[in-house]
Structure 1
Amino acid sequence: MDSQNLAWAGNLGRPQYWRFIMNIQGKTALVTGASRGIGYAIALELAQTGIKKLLLVARDQARLEELADLVESIGVEAVVIPLDLTQTVEVSIAIAKAWRDHGHIHLLVNCAGVAHQSPFLRSQLMDVQEEIAINLIGMYTITRLIARRMASQREGRIVNVSSLMGKVAAPTMATYSATKFAILGFTQALRGELAAYNVGVSALLPSLTDTDMVRGLEWFRWVAVMTPKQVAKALIDGLNKESPEILVGWQSHLAVLCNRIAPWLLEKILVFSAPQIS
């Protein structure tokens, strides 16, 4: 186990998590996109809150198994579910089996996603279709299956990972921004519909985060890069506060405020700070 993972495993019992610990003690969470990046960090952070069981979903089984070993070293049961969320039939079978074998899923964190960067006029339809299929349709598919079961149990919490680009669109990221805007609309609609069933729905909006997904992208100037652990900690804090939308970092709050007050100014800043992709 490397030093970073040891730090995760050893940082238990922090008082700022106490209320959330009490809420999910002995409960089960499912995290998609758990093999890397923000999903990986969220799974580890949840493991430190006293949750009983984590269902870990992603396409990369080997990385999921590494994460499961780490989670279990903290004392939390981990279940590996290798799954491609674009395969609707496989997802339906896997969720039915997970519910049968592991009982009620109390928390769903939809973190799976991909990003392609390109000027729109040179964008490739194949990349666009992948972003829509994973970021939006895949999230819809698994959420629909789990939300129905949560509603029947009258208990649950759903977190959809959007992005600051779901609030503020950026040049060279048109389709990615479109899927993240769509996630916010989807989340808001679900929050209204599922409240009657005692199922809460929130959106997590990280800004630029240092993950495998973004390391191949050209970064925007002046953006302070977050770590996955910072995003995961913000999620726990947002769950404690029952926030409908969880912004991460001061730059995100500033960008959203600027977009409300002077959207024309923010657009100029984004165009100027956008990478020049040849």
Structure 2
Amino acid sequence: MHLQGKTVLITGASRGIGRAIALELAHQGVQRLILIARTHAHLVEVATEIEVIGAEAVPVALDITQTVDVNIAIAQTWRDHGPIHLLVNCAGIAHQVPFLQSQLPQVQEEIAINLLGMYTITRLIARRMAVQQQGTIINVSSLMGKIAAPTMATYSATKFAILGFTQALRNELSAHNIRVVALLPSLTDTDMVRNFRWFRWVVPSTPEQVARSLIAGLQKGTPEILVGWQSYLAVWGNRLMPLLMERISRWATPEELQILKRLREAGADSR
């Protein structure tokens, strides 16, 4: 894919993977980056970095769970800065908690941002791309969209759903010359996961590594872009030995959660 001179819209652009993708695309010669996130001040910081590189940056403070606001913002953005050639759906949130201790408001928040917000943005952009008969949509899923992780049940569910959504759109929108790609980072060292109890044996990627993998995958025309050798090993292991991979997932669960589980089991046995 030729990126020079293109206009790109990125959600979740104020930090982490979204920020790294925005900066990498600016280095690749993208003409204009429309940056979407909830906090305007953080977007302005990223926009300043992008403009130093030489690309135009347009910060748009927006909560993608607010459907009416999203409709208005996308219409105005397309009118003022379109057409948009590339959409990167990177906005997401994760809560790490054992399922039995999970709370409905957190579950609803993950679904609202990770799935419904992505759907709303994609529907609005894809319809316009179909009229111009060109475009690329990148949906950021996760390795947890292939292999579910204990303590991340709802997050894993949303990431599995994103892969199904992406596959369906890939087949539907190809008739309109719209390419749809899934990006699957593994554990990435971002602000979102800094307070997580990390899984053992997993070496985290950096946001910059994820961004570079995205560019490489786009150039190769890969429909699903994995990040890092551990991801490839995990996916192949899950295909060939799914029961073993489930055991490894349990063994990799953060130690303090395993201790808590053993204590509860011991308490149940003593009754």
Report the TM-score range of the alignment, normalised by the length of the smaller protein. Answer: over 0.9
- Cα distance in 1 for partners of 2:52, 2:150 equals 43
Once the 2 structures are TM-superposed, how far is the Cα of residue 47 of structure 1 from its aligned partner?
Answer: 0.3
- Cα distance in 1 for partners of 2:129, 2:220 equals 21
The residue that corresponds to 1:204 in the other structure is: 183
Q: Does 1:86 align with 2:68?
A: no
* SS of residue paired to 1:31: strand
Deviations 1:96-143 (A, max 9, x none): 000000120000000000000111011000100000000000000000
- Cα distance in 2 for partners of 1:163, 1:216 equals 18
1:224 to 203, 209, 219: 203
Unaligned regions of 5+ residues in structure 1, if any?
Answer: 1-19
1:34-49 alignment to 2 at 5 Å?
A: 34-49=13-28
- Cα distance in 2 for partners of 1:217, 1:54 equals 31
Aligned letter for 1:27? K
1:54 to 33, 46, 70: 33
Aligned letter for 1:143? T
Unaligned regions of 5+ residues in structure 2, if any?
Answer: 261-271
Once the 2 structures are TM-superposed, how far is the Cα of residue 216 of structure 1 from its aligned partner?
Answer: 1.2
1:215 to 194, 204, 211: 194
2:147 to 143, 153, 168: 168
* SS of residue paired to 2:117: helix
Q: Does 1:68 align with 2:47?
A: yes
Scaled by the length of structure 2, what TM-score is found? 0.94
1:3-152 alignment to 2 at 5 Å?
A: 20=1, 23-152=2-131
- Cα distance in 1 for partners of 2:4, 2:108 equals 39
- Cα distance in 1 for partners of 2:215, 2:228 equals 14
1:239 to 202, 211, 218: 218
- Cα distance in 1 for partners of 2:232, 2:214 equals 15
- Cα distance in 2 for partners of 1:27, 1:121 equals 46
- RMSD over aligned CA atoms reads 0.7
Give the number of the structure whose alpha-carbon radius of gyration is greater. 2
Once the 2 structures are TM-superposed, how far is the Cα of residue 171 of structure 1 from its aligned partner?
Answer: 0.5
Once the 2 structures are TM-superposed, how far is the Cα of residue 187 of structure 1 from its aligned partner?
Answer: 0.1
The residue that corresponds to 1:156 in the other structure is: 135
* SS of residue paired to 2:191: coil
The residue that corresponds to 2:250 in the other structure is: 271
Aligned letter for 2:24? E
Once the 2 structures are TM-superposed, how far is the Cα of residue 254 of structure 1 from its aligned partner?
Answer: 0.4
* SS of residue paired to 1:51: coil
User: Which consecutive segments of 4 or more residues in structure 1 shift more than 2 A?
Assistant: none
Deviations 1:140-194 (A, max 9, x none): 0000000000011001000000000000001000000000000000000000000
* SS of residue paired to 1:143: helix
The alignment covers a number of residue pairs equal to: 257
* SS of residue paired to 1:54: strand
* SS of residue paired to 2:84: coil
The residue that corresponds to 1:178 in the other structure is: 157
* SS of residue paired to 2:189: coil
- Cα distance in 2 for partners of 1:268, 1:225 equals 20
